[in-house]
Amino acid sequence: MKRFISFFLIIILCVLLLSSCINHDRGSPTITVTQPVLTTESNRGSQGTSGHDNDETVTTDSQPATAPTETTTEPVSSSSKQSGEKMVFSSDPNNAFIMAVVNKYGVNASNLVAYYASSQTTNANLVYEFNGTVGSNGRPVRTIDTLVNIYTVTAPPELLAKKASGTKAEGNEYDEKDTKLCRFFTENVLFRFFGDEIQNA
């Protein structure tokens, strides 16, 4: 169990990087594939000769006499080649992962943001607890500076929540190395690339 968080965070990192390459665009990208149209001598008409007095003939490239290939454009969305799995941020107090943390630790649900796979079938689920600071616009401030605790939560139906930050005296259920790894991942990956999504969850 001691190595669980290391393995757990490596999986999260892989899923996150794959997700950010494929799904972070907020609108499925369209890749247009266009095939050229081949032109045959028969549909060039009389373009093969010039009207000059010296009767010079303008030569054209000879191509096989095949039917013109149609021009096609085929949109390819990211989800068409993948399973459709996305990483989700949610501050919904009824979210299963948020409820698991609230039920075990008695924290305020309004200060929590969950980060999880949309299928909810993996153990790559994190819940972040913020200190409740509210900005001048009346919205919660969710930054690395207002982050209080990090929790891991297993997939339903177990929903086993464990504290992954702070010290043992503060209830952290992971060792020092795994706690540092979790904090590093949070600061240098999630907040660096998904700060807006966490703020607006």
Q: Does residue 36 have a cis bond before it (omega within 30 degrees)?
A: no
Mean pLDDT of the chain: 73
When mean pLDDT is compared over 29-33, 47-51, 173-177, the highest value belongs to 173-177
Question: Who has greater pLDDT, 51 or 124?
Answer: 124
* Structure-block tokens of residue 10: 């490596």
CA distances to 40, 85, 127, 161, 188 from 120, rounded to whole Å, are 56, 10, 13, 14, 24
CA distances from residue 184 to 142, 148, 163 in whole angstroms, order as listed = 17, 14, 15
* Each residue's pLDDT tens digit, 71-95: 333 333 223 334 677 889 999 999 9
Task: Write the pLDDT tens digit of every residue in 9-31.
Answer: 556 655 554 454 444 444 433 33
